[in-house]
Amino acid sequence: MGLLDNILLWNMMAVLILLGQAMPNVKLNSQSSSGLRSECVGNLMRLSLDKALAVGNQLEVEAINCTQHILITPSLAAQCGYSMESDPWGNTRIYTSLLGCYVNNEEDTFNVGLRLRMYSKSQSTVISHNVMQTCSYTQWASREILCDRNYMEVSNHLATPNVKGRTQDVKGHSKISTIPDASEALGIWKVTFNTPQPVKMFLREAEQAGYGAMATSTRLVMRSPYNTAGTYSEDVAGVPMQVFKVSAYKAKLGQSMVNLAAACPTGGVLFTNDVISWHVPRRVTPLVDVKFKILEMYMGINGQRLDKSQMAARGYTLYTTDLHIVIEIPVGSPDGYYKSHAPDYQYHVTYIVEPMLEVLWRTNSKDDTRYKVLFPITTPLMPRLPHVQDSKSHFLVDYRKSGLWRRLQTCFLFLSYCFSLQRDQSYSLLVPFGDDVVLKHNPERLVTVYSLHLIFGLIILPEEIPFAHPVELQASLQDVVLPIISGTCDQNMFYIHVKYGSQGTNFQAMVGPRPLTPEVAEEYGFQENGTHLSLILPYAAKDTAFELFTSGSVRARVDLLLLDIINNWVLADYFLACDFPLTTTACFPNGTMNALAVKVESVPNLVPSQLTLKDKSCKPVFSDFRLAYFSFSVDSCGTTRRFFDHYMVYENEITLSYNEGVAYASPIDPEYRQTISCYYVINATRIVAFSSTHRSFDPTAEIGLGQLIVHMRLSQDSSYHQFYQAEDYPVEKYLRQPLYFDVELMESTDPQLELILENCWATLHNNRTSLPSWDIIVDSCENGDDSYATIFHPVVNDSKVLVPSHIKRFSVKMFTFTKDEEVLKDEIYVHCDAVICDTNSQADGSCRGQCVHPTGLGNAKHQGRKRLKRERSTDTTHQRQISSGPIVLQNTQSNLK
């Protein structure tokens, strides 16, 4: 195919570029516009204009020449070294030759200035962007040849030194505008075009014919559009080429003559269904007729060189044969794009890509030639009817949806809003399996069958030729991911976490024997964030079961069952059993005994209120559905006494009461009998040795000082095995994603010390006293005013935890600070005041324990505690202050909850 068939008409740049929708009337600076990028690519400057920046506007391009702005018309572009190309989406690239007109050159440092003027459709609004780019290009060859879309350019090195008294214009690039000025500045008074017959012209005549002549202090440049009277066609090694040969006569230096030549390919492309092969003559005979050696050879895309790794990643190859340099490009490579067509209402596509070839060769005379070709390639029309593959309908993006329907009995339902476009090697119209229009059912627990019936109505732009395509899809996938249940315990609570599977919340949860209704969920601290749910159950909750109890503990269990709503399949079955501290017998010096009886799972029909001591009249002072509490003196309720070594033992039994003289019995439940005992020491003799010596001085203790270090870390997950390091900050988290904090007392192995988190809060800034702030832990407990309460996690002894009392762990969901529904900042810092306590002391305040209150009623959240106020401890001797952050929100569109 001819190169000129693919050249973008320059009236699109000189007059308008229509790029879609209207753009707001906002003036942007080019350097600050994310859609406007300029860069140096060898002997060219490339300016990329994103469609989003000029959408809906008409574009004019002007060259900035000091204080002047020169409109780049199509003819001036080819004459002065400017070109442009645009894809169907409106993304535009403008190329400027560093040897072009209006480019300022100071010792091979080139300053290129362009002004982009965008007009609205009404022509009433103008938006301007000034682009200034400085490029350095010092690796000049003796001869430089550039083949662009709309012109051929050749520059030769001038060995003649600067003429004394030459005008200042020559030290940069100067466009020769008139013959007297040009001959005075450059010493050139006429040129001869070899076409191949010689045609002589004065410079003014050459310029009026559309040719360009330029000069620097060391180089002479000639430029010609394609297919002018001064060019001719020649077949070189089977490749059609446009040839431009010119001789410039210099009057001031003894009638010297400079010969310049350029030859640019206009064909040489071969196509298969999968590969584009571009052939360029290895010996360009119009340019070289002696022995030569290729020194360098590069391939590029859109004017930018690619290295070997980039070529390999894209599947490009560059090699030589005896006659040609060959570039092979896979059809559909990511550097090109497809264009849709509909000849005869049949769907076809072409693929468009713009490779670049750059070659440096040297002749026997040691003269170097750098040869650079930018060559847009468009494949022939390829029939490509819409097809179905991997349960997706693949289409290109450059069409407009005229309708998208699903046939439902005798009706059509418009559903185009349900679908989205994603780009792969081609563009695909994707129908999510989870959309309402997709019919689905589960014949097996792990298998989903998806069905979809569609008719696509499409219009190809800009021809606006419609065509339709029916699609019937069915996919059977083993894609059901079952939910996962996990849990932990501390000394009082069960913590249950459910990670949703692929079917989300489409299940019925059973907690013990009861469904998880909204009432049960509220009772058990239900929380949900779209991917997980969590429950917090006291070990003595109604839906837990007691398996076993001893004098010092009880083993409790919680069962969680997830059932499929339609088929009643078991999706997940989980139980968690833990030992919780529980004192069942207490003996007091005044002869009082307290005893606690617990209903265990092995005796399901036991009614605790019917339990008695040996004296059946001694009933519980308190009972509920699973506990019976007794308090009595050792000389009552049938308590017996016996002596054992140096102990006096009081014993009694808790059993079921008699009913009308008949002992309670059940054919299913075993007999319930619990023995309670209290041991008292009768006599004890202790021999104590005592001696004394005279001392000459009173003993004194040495005073020592030391630092106890407290460290706060952010764990990567709830296992607390991996932690973020300093180089990982800022850490990015989604809204309501749990943040797992670990606070540890360092460099101490004293088990009598306990670390207590007194207060924790979050701020917008690293300053812990800055405002606003939000309380996370107040008076060692979670903030009762927070709808997403802080969760304390148990710490157990393992290979990494030597003293559990030295560590506190808690989690809080990611949030942001807002004001008037606007996010103030997308990051937070977390600060804590920690207190180090002696467990042997009768402590008050925070040293009672983490979230322990004098009333002994347990977690403050269950005491109705409201309007907490964070107070700073006045005892700073054992207090430590720690902070963590910043933690950055990945999605800043949600408010603080």
* E strand segments, 82-211: 82-86, 92-97, 104-106, 109-119, 126-136, 143-147, 151-157, 188-194, 198-202
Predicted confidence (pLDDT) at residue 459 exceeds the cutoff of 50: yes
The stretch 799-821 carries a mean pLDDT of: 89
Please check whether residue 160 is in contact with residue 152, taking contact to mean a CB–CB distance below 8 angstroms: no
DSSP SS3 for 575: strand
Asked if the model's pLDDT at residue 190 lies above 90, the reply is: no
pLDDT at position 411 over 70: no
Nearest to 444, CA basis, from 562, 561, 567:
567
pLDDT at 644: 84
Q: How confident is the model at residue 423 (pLDDT cuts 50, 70, 90)?
A: very low
What are the b/e assignments for 665-702, b being 16+ CB within 10 Å?
eeeeeeebebebbbeeeeeeeeeeeeeeeeeeeeeeee
Would the CA dihedral through 239, 379, 44, 59 be positive or negative?
positive
Q: What is the DSSP letter of 163?
A: P
Check residue 415 and give its pLDDT.
38
The pLDDT of residue 859: 42
Closest to 270 measured CA to CA, from 359, 377, 372 = 377
pLDDT at 838: 84
Per-residue pLDDT tens digits for 37-56: 999 999 999 999 887 776 55
Flag the least confident range among 25-34, 255-264, 494-503, 633-642: 25-34
Whether residue 72 contacts residue 63, with contact meaning beta carbons closer than 8 Å, is answered with yes
Q: Which residues contact 168 (CB under 8 A, 6 or more apart)?
A: none
For the ranges 175-184, 455-464, 836-845, the lowest mean pLDDT is seen at 175-184
Q: What is the pLDDT of residues 231-290, one digit of tens each?
A: 999 999 999 999 999 998 865 544 578 899 999 999 999 999 999 999 999 999 999 988
Q: How far apart are the C-alpha atoms of 307 and 622, rounded to whole Å?
A: 84
Give the C-alpha distances (Å, rounded to integers) separating 470 from 393, 457, 814: 10, 9, 46
CA dist 214 and 46 (Å) reads 21
Range of lowest pLDDT (184-193, 263-272, 495-504): 184-193
Classify each residue of 751-763 as buried b or exposed e, where b means 16 or more C-beta atoms within 10 Å of its C-beta: eebbbbbbbbbbb
User: Structure tokens of 829?
Assistant: 């810092």
Say what the alpha-carbon torsion angle 224, 225, 231, 232 is, to the nearest 10 degrees: 150
Provide the CATH number for the domain formed by 484-581 in this structure: 2.60.40
Distance CA 813, CA 740 (A): 9
pLDDT above 70: residue 293: yes
Neighbour tally for 571: CB within 10 Å: 21
CB–CB of 379/274 below 8 Å? no
**What's the CA gap between 82 and 149, in Å, rounded?**
9
Tell me how far the alpha carbon of residue 673 is from its chain's centroid. Answer: 62
**Mean pLDDT, range 383-411, rounded to an integer:** 45
Tokens 């219009």, located at residue: 459
Confidence of residue 817 (pLDDT cuts 50, 70, 90): confident
User: Of the candidates 530, 531, 548, which has an alpha carbon nearest to the alpha carbon of residue 539?
Assistant: 548
Q: Where in the chain is CATH 2.60.40.4100?
A: 709-847+877-889
Q: What is the structure's pLDDT at 343?
A: 82
Strands 355-363 and 292-301: antiparallel
Quickly list H helices, 378-484: none
The arrangement of secondary structure in 36-138, i.e. its CATH architecture, is: Sandwich (2.60)
Query: What is the pLDDT at residue 670?
Result: 64
Beta bridge partners, 397, equal: none
Please say whether the beta carbons of 618 and 701 come within 8 A. Answer: no
pLDDT at 113: 94
Mean pLDDT within 94-108: 92
Q: ∠ CA(281), CA(195), CA(233), 5° rounding?
A: 35
pLDDT tens profile 652-680: 999 986 554 444 445 555 678 889 999 98
Please check whether residue 8 is in contact with residue 77, taking contact to mean a CB–CB distance below 8 angstroms.
no
For residue 121, name the pLDDT band (cuts at 50, 70, 90): low
Give me the architecture of the 268-382 domain, per CATH: Sandwich (2.60)
Range from 155-164, 419-428, 770-779, 846-855 that averages highest in pLDDT = 770-779
Contact 115, 69 (CB under 8 A): yes
What's the N-to-C CA distance of the chain in angstroms?
63
Assess whether pLDDT exceeds 50 at residue 371. Answer: yes
Instruction: Give dist(CA 891, CA 356) in Å, integer.
Output: 41
380 preceded by a cis bond (ω within 30 of 0):
no
Task: Give me the chain's average pLDDT, please.
Answer: 80
Q: Which residues pair with 733 in a beta bridge?
A: 889
pTM for the full predicted model: 0.47
pLDDT at residue 172 in the model: 37
> Binning pLDDT at 50, 70 and 90, where does residue 843 land?
low
Q: If you search the block for the tokens 């322990």, which residue do you land on?
A: 852
Q: Which CATH number fits domain 585-657+671-681: 3.40.50.1470, 3.30.470.10, 3.90.950.10, 2.60.40.3210?
A: 2.60.40.3210
pLDDT value at position 877? Answer: 52
**Per-residue pLDDT at 186:** 53
What's residue 402's pLDDT?
Answer: 39
Is the pLDDT score of 26 beyond 60?
no
Q: Are the C-beta atoms of residues 321 and 268 closer than 8 Å to each other?
A: no
Q: Where in the chain is the domain with CATH 2.60.40.3210?
A: 585-657+671-681
Q: Are strands 143-147 and 368-374 parallel, antiparallel or unpaired?
A: parallel
pLDDT value of residue 787:
79
Contact predicate 358/42, CB 8 Å: yes
Q: In this structure, what token pair is assigned to residue 157?
A: 């090195």
The two three-digit tokens of residue 308, written as one number: 């070997």
- Under DSSP, is residue 737 helix (H, G, I), strand (E, B) or coil? coil
Q: Compute the average pLDDT of residues 204-231.
A: 91
DSSP 693-705: ---SS---PPP--
Of the pLDDT bands very low, low, confident and very high (cuts 50, 70, 90), residue 408 is: very low
| Sign of the CA dihedral running 1, 150, 95, 15 | negative
| CATH of the domain spanning 709-847+877-889, picked from 2.60.120.10, 2.60.40.4100, 3.40.50.970, 3.40.50.300 | 2.60.40.4100
Residue 214 near residue 99 (C-beta atoms within 8 A): yes
Q: What is the pLDDT of residue 80?
A: 95
- Say how many C-beta atoms besides its own lie within 10 A of residue 498's C-beta: 24
- Mean pLDDT, to the nearest integer, of 776-790? 86
pLDDT at 19 over 60: no
Q: What does the alpha-carbon distance between residue 641 and residue 559 come to, in Å, rounded to a whole number?
A: 43
- Across the range 802-821, mean pLDDT stands at 90
CA distances from 823 to 161, 611, 826 (A): 66, 60, 7
- Three-state DSSP state, 528: strand
Query: CB–CB of 833/881 below 8 Å?
Result: yes
With 80 as the cut, is the pLDDT of residue 299 above it?
yes
368-374/355-363 β-pairing: antiparallel
pLDDT in tens, 701-758: 565 566 778 999 999 998 898 999 989 999 998 888 999 999 999 888 888 899 999 9
Please compute Rg for the chain using Cα positions. Answer: 43
What's the full length of the chain, in residues? 897
Q: Is beta strand 317-320 parallel, antiparallel or unpaired with respect to 324-330?
A: antiparallel
Least confident of 279-283, 409-413, 820-824: 409-413
153, 223 Cβ separation under 8 angstroms: yes
Instruction: Look at residue 387 in the predicted model and tell me its pLDDT.
Output: 64
Q: Quick one: pLDDT at residue 114?
A: 94
